[in-house]
Chains A and B, each alone.
Chain A
Amino acid sequence: MHELSIVKHVIKTLREVVEENHVRRIGSVTLEVGEVSGVVIEQLADCWNYFREKDELVKGAPLYVETIEAVTFCTSCEKTYETVKFGKTCPYCGSAETYLLTGNEFSIKQIEAETDDSVEP
């Protein structure tokens, strides 16, 4: 259960952020997920919904997911193309000497938070 552990790791990272930034409550969390990062967004949402009822830190906070398109660069003809459609082989010249430019991302982009302003950062 890949997505479950990913959510656990997100929450662990958020716990550190919360301490550093004197956050009182998290309003929402936005993730950036690449098209070929291997994460199933529907399952991720299910796991999030489970934790947001259980874990005080993210209680009630919605999860927003922004998808990043997967783009591959061909080193032979120096063109870029859609990874999901063509995979590792360049559709223009047939070369396999290609690498992924974007699409493998999985990051926490931002959170909305209520902070305790009485404490100086």
Chain B
Amino acid sequence: MKVIELKMTVTDSNDRDAQALRRELTERGIFLINLMSAPGSGKTTLLSRTITDLAGKVKIGVMEADIASDVDARRISELGAESIQVHTDGMCHMDAGMTRTGLENMENSGDRIVFLENVGNLICPAEFDTGAHKNVMILSVPEGDDKPLKYPLMFSKSDVLIITKSDAAPYFDFDFEAVESRVRKLNPSILIFPVSAKTGDGMEAWEDYILSEWEKRHA
């Protein structure tokens, strides 16, 4: 018996898969956005509004990842966007291999934005690179302004933070400035968009951001 020294991170093979997937997607003209949040943060509602507002500007596909059921995929396909449902069979996150398999099941593969709606969870999805070009995390007002303190990894890994249900802020004593200062300590370069998918407040800034990132890739 001999000792083989490895010093490999546990997610080493996933990290390599994710890098390869990202390159392939770029070549195929797919801009993949990984949406992460706790259950009930309003991901699907935000996505529905975004799809409706961007209709005619860019093609959109959605991959819904859940432990079970297809309620989210049905809601999205009612809007006319292509949506597929991926079941993680009890796993708490998507990894690069699962994302690749999911994308292979999409009918129209090239030239579009694909949103990956990750499993509702603020812990594990942050640890596994899905191969996405941008990581977007959603925090809803009712969850409270202390979440950056409790789930630091998620906030530090994300490129964008969307604060949803902003219209409910007066009922929950939600302090936007406190969130911003807590998040910036963890991640100085993160972009923050407070939105209400219900009233439409703030949606334009978030949608402009998506379009500008899309155009950067299709100039």
Contacts and interface: CB of A to CB of B under 8 A. Distances in A.
B91 to A, nearest CB: 5
Contacts of B95: 5, 9
A47 interface: no
Given A1-B91, A5-B91, A5-B124, A107 B9 contact: yes
B209 to A, nearest CB: 28
B219 interface: no
B106 interface: no
Interface residues of B, number: 25
A76 interface: no
A107 B9 CA distance: 4
B3 A108 contact: no
Contacts of B14: 9, 12
A109 B6 contact: yes
A96 B3 contact: no
B13 A113 contact: no
A17 interface: yes
A107 B91 CA distance: 21
A6 B11 CA distance: 8
Given A1-B90, A5-B124, A88-B185, A113 B8 contact: no
Contacts, number: 75
B57 interface: no
Nearest to A110: B5
Given A1-B90, A9-B14, A38-B153, A107 B8 contact: yes
B124 A2 contact: yes
A43 interface: no
Contact of A114 (B1, B6, B11, B90): B1
Contact of B2 (A6, A13, A115): A115
B4 A111 contact: yes
B11 A9 contact: yes
B63 to A, nearest CB: 18
Contacts of B12: 13, 108
Interface of B: 1-14, 90-93, 95, 123-124, 127-128, 153, 185
6 contacts: A1-B91, A4-B91, A17-B4, A108-B10, A112-B2, A113-B4
**8 A-B pairs closest in CB distance:** A13-B13, A110-B5, A27-B1, A108-B6, A107-B9, A108-B8, A2-B124, A106-B10
Interface of A: 1-2, 4-6, 9-10, 12-13, 16-17, 21, 23, 27, 31, 38, 88, 96, 106-115
